[in-house]
Amino acid sequence: MKHNGIMIKVSDLSKTFQTDRGEVLAADQVSFSVQTGTFFTLLGPSGCGKSTTLRCIAGLEKPEQGEIVVGDRLLFSHNRGLSVPPHKRDIGMVFQSYAIWPHMTVFENVAFPLKVGKKGFSRRQIGEKVQKAIILVQLEGLEDRPAPQLSGGQQQRLALARALVMEPQVLLLDEPLSNLDAKLREQMRIELTDLLNRLGITALYVTHDQLEALAMSQIMAVMKDGKIIEWGEPKEIYIRPKTRFVADFIGTPNFLEGKIIEGTSMGMGVVETTEGEITCQLPGWAKREDRVAVCIRPENVTVRQKPLNEEKNVLEAKVELVTFFGEYNDCQAMVGEKMVRLRLHPSIDLKKGDGVSLFLPPEMCTVLKI
């Protein structure tokens, strides 16, 4: 996909709320930029500030600090005393609740933004634009159906059509799939990603669902306590997290704590843990004697019935629990006093009490600060 510069630029955005427990800093000097045509996700636990950031960009919340630029337009600047009203921001938005009009048909719902807008479209133009949006989201044939008679997935598509009918530069999506059941959610994930890629729309997506963020995003930013902790391509963040919080929040990691006892010029080193010595990749900041946590994902641990001669990173373990999930076996094994999670192919037949050797590939072991 060709990226022609930056479409969204957020600088030093801060927003506080008054609550029963006093003042809460929901967004704390948040800064990021989104390239044109990129699917960018804000990911984080409830209350981390991701929806607040999105609502500030939409104009539904007014920050106390910072600037927001979309395209070549300055939409908000605290220093300049500027705040463009939401309806003048040329931004489409899809909410978690869909927010569709229950007393209107599918056609009327999609047409509504065109009728109330100030561009003054003719009846024919409205008809053409609505039909185009309805076809995009695969609701053709349902134009005259009352909105409440649609299924959950169809209502989600309707909300998307209504956001797209104005042909916005930017689409903001706030947990739009969270009300769908698991199967439909997976289907809509694929459909939505495909549609936005085809349209080349810049999308800013908010979710607390790690799988959703990994599957849909081109770039993702992980938030905590109103701040962006880490951002980058999903695969890089998953495989090489830079912080323990991010490693723990995305997926199900194993952490083995210890001390760096050896480093090499090739970027590899040895961490001494209570479970054994582990050879792993060292980040630039790491030095001897540092207390660290070695992170390895369950799917990267290999079970050896018998270790190879003088093989490094082999830990002796005893199987405690095996749970069959169809696509894989989730296995818990004790290494000394430490429980280690494994994700194994279902053909690997292990049972409680089995003794196994666990191999931790050095290139898959990430060193993090404690």
Give the CA distances from residue 133 to residues 54, 129, 144, 278, in Å, rounded to whole numbers and listed in that order: 24, 6, 15, 55
Rg (CA), the chain: 25
**Do both 238 and 257 map to the same domain?**
no
> Given phi > 0 = left and psi -120 to 50 = alpha, else beta, which region is 46?
beta
Has residue 180 been placed in a domain?
A: yes
DSSP output for 230-291: EEE-HHHHHHS-SSHHHHHHSS--EEEEEEEEEE-TTSEEEEEETTEEEEEEPPTT--TT-E
Residues of the chain with pLDDT under 50: 1-3
**Do both 118 and 176 map to the same domain?**
yes
Predicted local confidence at residue 264, as pLDDT: 67
When divided into structural domains, the chain yields a total of: 2
Q: In what order do the strands lie in the sheet with 22-35?
A: 22-35, 6-19, 65-70, 73-77, 82-83
Number of neighbours of residue 302 by Cβ within 10 angstroms: 15
**Do both 223 and 278 map to the same domain?**
no
**Do both 224 and 323 map to the same domain?**
no
CATH of the domain at 171: 3.40.50.300
**Do both 178 and 313 map to the same domain?**
no
**Do both 103 and 176 map to the same domain?**
yes
Has residue 88 been placed in a domain?
A: yes
Map tokens 């050797």 to a residue. Answer: 357
> Given phi > 0 = left and psi -120 to 50 = alpha, else beta, which region is 45?
beta
Has residue 97 been placed in a domain?
A: yes
Last residue of a domain, one of 200, 225, 245: 245
3-state secondary structure of 312: coil
Give the pTM. 0.87
**Do both 30 and 115 map to the same domain?**
yes
Has residue 323 been placed in a domain?
A: yes
Q: Give the helix/strand (H/E) hosting 12.
A: strand 6-19
The whole-angstrom separation of Cα 26 and Cα 59 is 16
Specify which residues 334 forms β-bridges with: 318, 339
**Do both 179 and 293 map to the same domain?**
no
Has residue 257 been placed in a domain?
A: yes
pLDDT tens-digit series, residues 259-305? 999 876 678 899 999 999 999 988 888 888 889 999 999 999 999 87
Structure tokens at 271: 């961490």
Contacting residues for 61 by C-beta, under 8 A, at least 6 apart: 15, 52, 55
Q: Which of 116, 111, 187 is nearest to 154 (CA)?
A: 187
Last residue of a domain, one of 221, 245, 269: 245
**Do both 18 and 52 map to the same domain?**
yes
Farthest CA pair distance, the chain: 79
Predicted local confidence at residue 223, as pLDDT: 96
Structure tokens at 186: 């997976």
Q: Which of 11, 48, 54, 55 is nearest to 33 (CA)?
A: 11
The whole-angstrom separation of Cα 272 and Cα 365 is 13
Has residue 179 been placed in a domain?
A: yes
Helices 106-116/152-164 angle, 10° precision: 20
Predicted local confidence at residue 113, as pLDDT: 83
**Do both 199 and 315 map to the same domain?**
no
Predicted local confidence at residue 307, as pLDDT: 61
Cα angle: 101, vertex 105, 109; to 5 degrees:
50
Has residue 1 been placed in a domain?
A: no
Map tokens 């209502």 to a residue. Answer: 155
**Do both 228 and 266 map to the same domain?**
no
Last residue of a domain, one of 210, 245, 280: 245
Has residue 140 been placed in a domain?
A: yes
Predicted local confidence at residue 3, as pLDDT: 42
**Do both 117 and 262 map to the same domain?**
no
CATH of the domain at 358: 2.40.50.140
Range of the domain at 230: 6-245
Q: Which of 89, 40, 94, 95 is nearest to 69 (CA)?
A: 89
Predicted local confidence at residue 2, as pLDDT: 38
Predicted local confidence at residue 308, as pLDDT: 64
The whole-angstrom separation of Cα 95 and Cα 357 is 49
Give the CA distances from residue 321 to residues 305, 306, 330, 331, in Å, rounded to whole numbers and listed in that order: 17, 20, 8, 6
